[in-house]
């Protein structure tokens, strides 16, 4: 028989303030890596441009310059547009509530004004971060479930921390330390 006992349940309201806090956290954790990668790729492309200029292959050098500009704009404008789109989304602007139900092998996520639910297994999580006020359960390098540490209706934050740490052994990081 499958164990469907609810271990933890949390109801978190998404609003502009918590999303802004998440963006600051995300930038602090991933910003340097993102910027380094961008600078590295642009540096390589500049080396290619200089090689083309030295060999008097100006057509390719110009094309590579357009690639550099396009890559730079994509790396900085695309994330800004994604953040703007998310910030202006219905879930943030209308302060939607999400219920996160944690079972032994999965997480069930439901937006409280909708009937549909989503299920994520713990091994599908990319990273898990704990801060003073939130757990950020990343589903990939850009998207995260925001779980308020003070909004557990079944279980508590301390027990949940130990539970999620065991489920996501090498993916869990406590940013309070």
pLDDT tens, residue by residue, 55-110: 999 999 999 999 999 998 998 888 788 878 887 888 788 889 999 999 999 999 99
For residue 6, give the nearest of 154, 123, 156 by alpha carbon. 154
pLDDT at 3: 61
Domain 8-15+96-169 architecture: Roll (2.30)
pLDDT tier, 2 (very low <50, low <70, confident <90, very high otherwise)? low
8 A C-beta contact, residue 96 and residue 15: no
C-alpha radius of gyration, the chain, whole number: 21
Every domain of the chain and the residues it spans: 8-15+96-169, 17-90
pTM over 0.85: no
């Amino acid at each position: 028989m499958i164990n469907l006992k609810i271990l933890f349940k949390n109801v978190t309201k998404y609003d502009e303030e918590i999303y802004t806090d998440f963006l600051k956290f995300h930038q602090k954790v991933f910003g340097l890596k993102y910027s380094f990668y961008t600078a590295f790729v642009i540096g390589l492309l500049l080396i290619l441009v200089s090689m083309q200029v030295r060999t008097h292959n100006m057509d390719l050098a110009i094309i590579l310059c357009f690639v550099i500009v396009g890559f730079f704009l994509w790396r900085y404008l695309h994330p800004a547009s994604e953040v703007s789109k998310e910030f202006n989304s219905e879930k943030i602007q209308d302060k939607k509530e999400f219920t996160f139900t944690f079972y032994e092998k999965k997480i069930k996520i439901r937006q409280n004004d909708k009937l549909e639910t989503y299920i994520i297994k713990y091994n599908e999580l990319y990273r898990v971060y704990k801060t003073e006020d939130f757990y950020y359960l990343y589903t990939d390098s850009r998207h995260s479930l925001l779980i308020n540490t003070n909004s557990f209706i079944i279980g508590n934050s301390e027990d949940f921390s130990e539970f999620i740490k065991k489920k996501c052994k090498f993916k869990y990081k406590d940013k309070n330390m």
